[in-house]
C-alpha cells in the first residue's frame, strides 16, 4: 500500500513514512492510493476494537515495517471500550443510539488516534535517531489526548498550540499539566491561526533542518485510520444484530472524525448516511448547500473544540468525493447555534436522562430537529465525542447539578498547569521551539 498527496504530487510513500512526515511535501494531506474493499464476512470472529482494527488496517500496512506489529499496536492503543447503547425514552418506531467515545485517558474521542499514533511512532523511531518534536494545534481535545499519549516516551517531545481564552478551563488544564517532554503555548489568536502556524512550521526549511518535526493533528494519516476502526466495529455489530446499515450524526469541526467515518464506508462497511453536526461555524454546511468553498474566520461557541472556520480535512473529503452531487448524496451538514445547544442539554436531561457535552448536544439537536419521517427511515447513531465532565462550566448550570468526573480526569487536576503565551506568528513559535 502506498499513500499520495491530496494536491497531486507524484510522491508515493509507505505507511510509516507517511505517518512520520505528517504533511506531504506539496502541503497536501496523505490519502491511500487505492481502497481495499471488505465484506461483512471478512470480519467473522472479530468482535473487539482491536480484533476489527487488526483486520481493517492490515491492507494499509502491507509491505511496511509495521506490518508484523499492527496487532500489538491496536491492542496497546485500544485498551478501552467504545460501547454503542440505546438512548432511553425514544419512540418505538425511532431507533436512536449513542456511540460512547469518551472512555479513554482524556475522556474524548481523540484518545483513539493519539494513542495509535504514539504506539506507531515509538516503533518507527530508531533508538539512536535524533529526538522528534510532535507539533499539534488544538481547539480543545486533541492537545490533551496527544500529550497523554506521548507523555514520558523517550526520544519524543510534544509542542501543543492552543488558542488563548478559547478552550474551557478544564481543557486548558489537560493541555498544560504534563511537563517533562510536553510543552504548551497559548497562542494569541484562533484555532485556525494555531493550525496555520503548524503548517508554516512544516514548510520552513531552516526550522526543519534544526529540528525533526512531525504532526499529531488530524492532518496526520495515523490519526484518521484508527478512528475508522470504531466506525467499522460499531457498524458491524449493528448490522449483525439488525441486518441494516447504521447512519451517523457526527459533531464536526476540523472534519477528521467525519472523514474517518467516510473512509470506513468507502471500505465497504455497512454505514448509511453521514450527517455533519456543526456549531455556528457554517463553512461546511454552506459549502454543501451552495457548492462553493469559502473558508472564513472561526467563531467562538459553547462547543469550542469544533470552532473551526477552515477545516483542513475538507481536502480529504473532496478528494474522496470530487463530484459535489455525489458528496451530497452521502453527506449532509447542519449548523446549530449556542441557544439550541443550551436547550438540547436541558431538554435531553429532562426527557431522556442524558447529560451531553456541548459537542454531543450539537448532534442531539440535529437529530431532534429532523422530520419524524427521516428519523423513522434510518437507524441513527449520535457520536458522543467527549465526557460532559470536560465542560462543567457549560453543562452544570444547565442541568442544575454536578457532573461526575472520570477518575482519569480527576488525577490530572492534581498536576500544576504550566504554559507560555506567544503571538500567532511563526517567528515567535520558532523562538519558542529553539529555546527548548
pLDDT digit string (tens) for 399-435? 999 999 988 888 888 889 999 999 999 999 998 887 7
Please give the average per-residue pLDDT across 98-110, as a whole number.
Answer: 94
299 domain-assigned: yes
* Number of domains within the chain: 1
The bridge status of strand 30-32 relative to strand 3-5 is: antiparallel
Q: Which of 110, 199, 390, 430 is catalytic?
A: 110
Spatial CB neighbours of 314, under 8 Å, sequence gap ≥ 6? 255, 284, 287, 293
The CA distance from 246 to 269, in Å, is 10
Q: Is the pLDDT of residue 260 over 90?
A: yes
Q: Is the pLDDT of residue 337 over 70?
A: yes
User: E strands within 260-379?
Assistant: 271-278, 331-335
In 3D, which of 397, 391, 345 has the Cα closest to residue 171?
391
Q: Determine whether 110 is an active site residue.
A: yes
CATH number of the domain encompassing residue 99: 3.40.50.1100
In 3D, which of 359, 412, 422, 406 has the Cα closest to residue 169?
412
Please report the pLDDT score of residue 144 as a whole number: 87
The CA distance from 424 to 401, in Å, is 38
434 domain-assigned: no
Please report the pLDDT score of residue 110 as a whole number: 92
Instruction: Give pLDDT tens digits for 173-221.
Output: 989 999 899 999 999 999 889 989 988 998 888 888 888 888 887 889 9
In 3D, which of 316, 311, 361 has the Cα closest to residue 341?
361
The CA distance from 123 to 121, in Å, is 5
**CA 274 centroid distance within chain:** 15
Please give the average per-residue pLDDT across 246-255, as a whole number.
Answer: 97
- Strand order, beta sheet including 182-188: 212-215, 132-137, 156-163, 182-188, 420-423
Q: What is the mean pLDDT of the chain?
A: 93
- Residue 402, class by beta-carbon neighbours within 10 Å (0-12 exposed, 13-18 middle, 19+ buried)? exposed
Q: Tell me which residue range forms the domain holding 325.
A: 81-107+222-405
Q: Is the pLDDT of residue 92 over 70?
A: no
Instruction: Give pLDDT tens digits for 357-376.
Output: 999 999 999 999 999 999 99
433 domain-assigned: no
The bridge status of strand 132-137 relative to strand 156-163 is: parallel
The CA distance from 22 to 104, in Å, is 24
Torsions phi, psi of 160, nearest 5? -105, 125
User: E strands within 111-169?
Assistant: 132-137, 156-163
415 domain-assigned: no
Range from 6-10, 259-263, 305-309 that averages highest in pLDDT: 259-263
Please report the pLDDT score of residue 436 as a whole number: 63
Instruction: Give pLDDT tens digits for 129-147.
Output: 888 889 898 877 788 899 9
155 domain-assigned: no
- In this structure, the number of other CB atoms found within 10 A of the CB of residue 61 comes to 21
176 domain-assigned: no
Spatial CB neighbours of 81, under 8 Å, sequence gap ≥ 6? 49, 100, 103
Alpha carbon distance, N-terminus to C-terminus of the chain: 37
209 domain-assigned: no
Instruction: Give pLDDT tens digits for 42-89.
Output: 999 999 999 999 999 999 999 999 999 999 999 999 999 999 999 987
186 domain-assigned: no
Amino acid at each position: 500500500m502506498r499513500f499520495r498527496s491530496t494536491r497531486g504530487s507524484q510522491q508515493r510513500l509507505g505507511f510509516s513514512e507517511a505517518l512520520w512526515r505528517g504533511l506531504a511535501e506539496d502541503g497536501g494531506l496523505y490519502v491511500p492510493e487505492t481502497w481495499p474493499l471488505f465484506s461483512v464476512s471478512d470480519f467473522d470472529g472479530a468482535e473487539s476494537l482491536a480484533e476489527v482494527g487488526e483486520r481493517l488496517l492490515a491492507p494499509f500496512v502491507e509491505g511496511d515495517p509495521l506490518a508484523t506489529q499492527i496487532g500489538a499496536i491496536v491492542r496497546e492503543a485500544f485498551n478501552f471500550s467504545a460501547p454503542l447503547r440505546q438512548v432511553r425514552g425514544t419512540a418505538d418506531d425511532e431507533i436512536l443510539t449513542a456511540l460512547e467515545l469518551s472512555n479513554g485517558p482524556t475522556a474524548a474521542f481523540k484518545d483513539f488516534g493519539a494513542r495509535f499514533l504514539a504506539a506507531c511512532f515509538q516503533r518507527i523511531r530508531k533508538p539512536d535517531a535524533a529526538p522528534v518534536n510532535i507539533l499539534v494545534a488544538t481547539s480543545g481535545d486533541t492537545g490533551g489526548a496527544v500529550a497523554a499519549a506521548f507523555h514520558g516516551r523517550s526520544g519524543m517531545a510534544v509542542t501543543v498550540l492552543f488558542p488563548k481564552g478559547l478552550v474551557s478551563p478544564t481543557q486548558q488544564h489537560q493541555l498544560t499539566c504534563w511537563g517533562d517532554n510536553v510543552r504548551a503555548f497559548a497562542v494569541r489568536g484562533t484555532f485556525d491561526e494555531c493550525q496555520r502556524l503548524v503548517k508554516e512550521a512544516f514548510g520552513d526549511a531552516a526550522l526543519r533542518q534544526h529540528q525533526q518535526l512531525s504532526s499529531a493533528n488530524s492532518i496526520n494519516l495515523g490519526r484518521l485510520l484508527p478512528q475508522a476502526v470504531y466506525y467499522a466495529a460499531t457498524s458491524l455489530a449493528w448490522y449483525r444484530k439488525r441486518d441494516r446499515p447504521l447512519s451517523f450524526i457526527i459533531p464536526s469541526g476540523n472534519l477528521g472524525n467525519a472523514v474517518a467515518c467516510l473512509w470506513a464506508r468507502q471500505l465497504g462497511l455497512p454505514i448509511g448516511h453521514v450527517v455533519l453536526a456543526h456549531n455556528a461555524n457554517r463553512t461546511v454546511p454552506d459549502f454543501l448547500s451552495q457548492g462553493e468553498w469559502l473558508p472564513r474566520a472561526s467563531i467562538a461557541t459553547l462547543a469550542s473544540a469544533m470552532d473551526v472556520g477552515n477545516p483542513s480535512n475538507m481536502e480529504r473529503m473532496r478528494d474522496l468525493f470530487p463530484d459535489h452531487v455525489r458528496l451530497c448524496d452521502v453527506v449532509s451538514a447542519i449548523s446549530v447555534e449556542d441557544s439550541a445547544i443550551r436547550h438540547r442539554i436541558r431538554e435531553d436531561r429532562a426527557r431522556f436522562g442524558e447529560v451531553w457535552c456541548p459537542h454531543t448536544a450539537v448532534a442531539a439537536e440535529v437529530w431532534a430537529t429532523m422530520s419524524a419521517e427521516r428519523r423513522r427511515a434510518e437507524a441513527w447513531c449520535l457520536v458522543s465525542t467527549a465526557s460532559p465532565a470536560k465542560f462543567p462550566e457549560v453543562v452544570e448550570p444547565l442541568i442544575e447539578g454536578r457532573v461526575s468526573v472520570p477518575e482519569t480526569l480527576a488525577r490530572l487536576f492534581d498536576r500544576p498547569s504550566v504554559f507560555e503565551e506567544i503571538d500567532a506568528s511563526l517567528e515567535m513559535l520558532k523562538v519558542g521551539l529553539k529555546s527548548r
